A and B are shown apart, each in its own frame.
Chain A
Amino acid sequence: MTHASGDTLAYQGESRGPSQKQQARLNGLMRSQATFAWALIAPAALYLMLVVAWPLVETIRLSFTNANIGGEAYIGTANYEKLLSSRKFSQTISRTFYWMFLSVSLKIILGLIGATLLNAAIPGRALFRMLVMPPWIVPVAIGCFGWLWLYNGHFGIISGVLQYIGILDGPFEFLAYKNSAFYAAVVTDVWVGLPMVTIFMLAAMQGVPRDLYEAAYVDGASRWYRFRRITIPQILPVIITMSILSIIWTFNSFEIIWILTEGGPRSATTTLIIDTYKMAIANFKFGQGAARAVIVVTLLSVFSLVYLFALHQIKKRFEAV
């Protein structure tokens, strides 16, 4: 019998001891709890098997076929061979990693700065904390419609301001040129992901014991020193968690690029996900699309394993102290 139910028995016993029948019933319930737990989990598990696990397996199978709108035939590893020998695909891979690296590091750095600002004891911070949230809760697609207009060269405010202060000497279409379109997409992706990173880092900062700071303050440590030597180590697990979540989401990020550029101009913003979608859904080449999807899933699994390993290391270090 578990500890918890022992407590209950004592509590029940105040008025009258539990009858043998009740005792037997409780024992029976404890024994059958695994069956009951699995029965409760089964609907969710079956549902996810149908909508997530089966598609995953099916994607792997399709990646070895030439499936298209008309039919499919087994073609072995031809899809993969084609991908690995394609220069365009290796460009897509490196572009995806560059996209991920830029966007994630900006989110983490700006998130740290934002969380520190919102954690400072200044009047109005409750309001500021609230104002950070909208990009997180608003549909990504709708936020991107706003950015689409902001990036407009002739009539958007960004181009307008840059012309006004003299950085641009004429209208500039941000989404029409390879480089600017890429960085514009990064900025929008950062905008979408930043609120969540900021809020989680803020929550972590609020959880750091105050006496740590007070002790350091009494010892004359500067704010910067306290930030570096207390805040950062204390919230490191959250920084790592936010990094990996950002990596996964940036890697998977579809709507932002699709709405802004559909992967263009001339593939400048075609990440792995966009490439997969274009191949499979726009061109109906399911087999070739599936091979790309399998590569996406493989990379995501690697990231997640690295994350679990990193978190494990940190926990070990924390426990050792």
Chain B
Amino acid sequence: MMDHYSLPHKIFLYVCVALFLGFILLPFFEMFMTSLRPLEHLFRSPYQFWSDDFSFKAYAQMWVTVPMLPRYIANSMFISLSVTALALTFIIPAAYAYARFDFKGKTLSLGIFLAVNMFSGAVLLIPLYKLLRTYGLLNTYFAMIVPGAAFLVPMGIWLLKSYLEKIPRELEEAAFMDGASRLYTLRRVVLPLAVPGLMVVGVAVFLSAYAQQFLFAITFNSVKEFMPLPAGILEFIGFQSVKWNQMMAASIIGILPVLVIFLFLQRYLVAGLTAGALKE
């Protein structure tokens, strides 16, 4: 009864939803439409909403305009995967410690970890830039992997901690009783049970790593061979003209992997991400 809506009310709700989603999805829609249009068509004024010369040609031509495109995509994947692996090696033990043990300074140290979320990379760039420059590490993958992973560690610890807390302690204690060492228990008892949680955290870290590449790439790297896709796409903006249709096609290719990952895992991701934050 309470959830019953009258017809005008229902229509009103759908119109509002349409407006809301329209705003959210407009750039994606327009990206896709633009990628289908020939370049000459794009530069027609006044604006034309529809025409009959749509084609997928831009998706073929973009590899010619920016020959390094496959390399950029591979770089993006490589950097994101490395960041994820690096972040997880720090996240897993720390999250386990926070989920399982009581010790002095627990709340305080966890608070300090979370405070890292306050800073974006942009604030800390200056010393990092100087440091990387001094050690000759500018223009390397290292420069785009090691600083970036740090900002994902606190989030990962928090998410994984909430998951690990739900795993019953009895199994670990049984393993201790049978003489297993603590590290052995962590590796062979806890981690296998935590696989679903590890997946959520891993995917969340990967998506964030994939999303945050731009800043570190344009600041710490100027070598084409190492550029990740978001920075590489800027190459479509040439001195003479911008190949907008191809740029949008490349952007679509760039967001496709994350959309696919998200589509498959969205239920677990949303539940996992919000659960940690809503718990008081």
A residues lining the B interface (CB < 8 Å): 4-5, 7-8, 11-12, 18, 22, 25-26, 29, 33-34, 36-38, 40-41, 43-45, 47-48, 51-52, 54-56, 58-59, 62, 67, 110, 113-114, 117-118, 120-122, 128-135, 137-143, 145-147, 149-150, 154-157, 159-161, 163-164, 171, 191, 194-195, 199-200, 203-204, 207, 213-214, 217, 237-238, 241, 248-249, 252, 254-255, 259, 273, 276-277, 280-281, 286, 289-290, 293, 296-297, 300-301, 304, 315
Contact = CB atoms under 8 A, between A and B. Distances in A.
Interface string B219-231: 1000000000111
B118 A41 contact: no
Interface string B242-258: 00100110010011001
Given A248-B118, A300-B118, A62 B126 contact: yes
A248 B47 contact: no
A54 B127 contact: yes
Given A26-B176, A137-B207, A199-B270, A191 B27 contact: yes
B57 interface: no
B233 interface: yes
B189 to A, nearest CB: 13
Interface string B119-161: 1101111111111000000000000001101110110010000
A190 B178 CA distance: 55
B174 A12 contact: yes
A134 B254 CA distance: 13
B239 interface: no
A128 B21 contact: yes
Q: Could you tell me the dominant secondary structure of chain A's interface residues?
A: helix
A164 to B, nearest CB: 7
A80 B26 CA distance: 43
A43 B118 contact: no
Interface stretch (B38-46, B59-67, B194-202): B38-46
Nearest to B266: A130
Given A44-B157, A117-B13, A145-B248, A138 B21 contact: no
B29 to A, nearest CB: 9
Interface residues of B, number: 105
Q: Could you tell me the dominant secondary structure of chain B's interface residues?
A: helix
A59 B176 CA distance: 46
Nearest to A135: B24
B213 interface: yes
Contacts of B10: 122
A296 B151 CA distance: 17
Contacts of A117: 13, 16-17, 20
Contact of A138 (B89, B211, B278): B211
B89 A43 contact: yes
Contacts of A11: 170, 174
B56 interface: no
A40 to B, nearest CB: 4
Q: Which of A37, A113, A200, A252 has the most CB of B within 10 A?
A: A37
Contact of A142 (B106, B122, B230): B230
Contacts of B193: none
A25 to B, nearest CB: 7
B238 interface: no
Nearest to B124: A55
B225 to A, nearest CB: 19
A254 B231 CA distance: 14
A165 B278 CA distance: 44
Contacts of A213: 2
B122 A34 contact: no
Contact of A41 (B13, B97, B127): B97
